Amino acid sequence: MQYHAMPFGDIHSAIIGWAVIMDLAIGDPKWLFHPVRAIGWFAARTEEPLRRAFPSRLKVAGAVQTAAVVSATAGLAAALGALSWEAGPVFGLVFHAAGLASALSIRSLAAEGRAVRRLLDRGLEGEARIRAGTIVSRDMSKEGRKGIIRATVESLTENLSDGVVAPLFYAAIGGLPGVWAYKAVNTLDSMVGYRNVRYRDFGWAAARLDDLANIIPARLTGILQVTAAAVVGDDWRQGIRSWIRDAQKGPSPNGGIPICVFAGAAGIALGGDCRGADGEIVHIPEVGGKRRGLRTGDIGRSILYHYLVSILAAVLAAVVPTVWR
């Protein structure tokens, strides 16, 4: 996307910088309308008509839904972005920065992690279990202290890729349409990308496209985590070894990378059996380091990595396209 020139420097870098500032300042307040809700609404309204239209070819139905939702989202973002520049350069800058900020989760993810840690430190395990359950797609009802810490750390590290690094990556290469095309794919995967009876076929296209869209961001997240480990004095070499050894043990070709790198660098063991959202036992390989006794400080460590990687990703997203041009 071609940005208009502005008198106070490179517009692309300004958009990235202001988007990060906006996200850190206000995050995702519940009272503010979020574009993901509109994507979810559109996806929900198209599912049943497409199932009826292709009753014996659900993969085709799901592929049509994916193409429609992603193209409509990207097209609307491009149209609104172009109109914002017509309204003036300052308005265009604010609109694009706000559009990117709403796709980021720097503040909100860190805030959830801190909330769970505070509750655990105060001995409020039941409340911590409930709070952790809002950020993980698993049944937390029977988890003890270790399980709560593990779920929180794994959620923070895994979501670092699709909640921070990926939106910044797609902002760098595709502007606002690229960001929201990615968020549409990510939203669809969270809605229909399940390997259960209902969505095994219908959600196939969304799940595969999400895997494809995250190939580079997940690996970039791993590289930035290794860098963060070196900065804070953790064992970055062990992070790399864990990445190579463990990252493909799980079902996702991408989601395991951030978890493995952090676990290895921090010297802790993550993974192991847990209960899925349906209450069934999910067998997940153990990855990372040797220490199995998780502490609330491990949540704090993951938040530190979260901020360091977010800063590094923002700098890359702001600088690399400018230098490339």
Query: Residue 320 — very low, low, confident or very high, per pLDDT cuts 50/70/90?
Result: confident
Q: Which residue has the tokens 């206000």?
A: 26
Q: Determine whether 56 is exposed, middle or buried from the number of CB atoms within 10 Å of its CB (0-12, 13-18, 19+).
A: exposed
d(C-alpha 97, C-alpha 193), whole Å: 29
Are residues 217 and 166 in contact, defined by beta-carbon separation less than 8 angstroms? Answer: yes
d(CA 247, CA 257) in angstroms, rounded, equals 5
Distance CA(247)–CA(284), nearest Å, equals 12
- pLDDT for the residue numbered 142: 87
Q: What is the pLDDT of residues 166-218, one digit of tens each?
A: 999 999 999 999 999 999 999 999 999 888 889 999 999 999 999 999 999 99
pLDDT at 223 over 60: yes
Average pLDDT, the chain: 92
Quick one: which H or E segment has residue 238?
helix 236-246
Within 8 A by CB and 6+ apart from 47, the residues are 65, 192, 202
* Nearest of 123, 111, 129 to residue 29 by alpha carbon: 111
* pLDDT score of 3: 45
pLDDT tens per residue across span 20-61:
999 999 988 877 788 999 999 999 999 999 999 999 999 999
Other beta carbons within 10 angstroms of residue 24's beta carbon come to 15
Model confidence at 244, in pLDDT bands (50, 70, 90)?
Answer: very high
CA-closest candidate to residue 212, choices 232, 192, 238, 186: 186
For residue range 286-318, what is the model confidence (pLDDT) as tens digits? 999 999 999 999 999 999 999 999 999 999 999
Evaluate if residue 238 carries a pLDDT over 60.
Answer: yes
Residue 313 burial class via C-beta count within 10 angstroms: exposed 0-12, middle 13-18, buried 19 and up: buried
CA torsion through residues 191, 101, 298, 261, sign: positive
Cβ neighbour number for residue 59 with a 10 Å cutoff: 15
How high is the pLDDT of residue 324? 61
For residues 149 and 165, what is the distance between their CA atoms, to the nearest angstrom?
23
Q: Do residues 211 and 257 touch, judged by C-beta distance below 8 A?
A: no
* Mean pLDDT, residues 103-113 taken together: 96
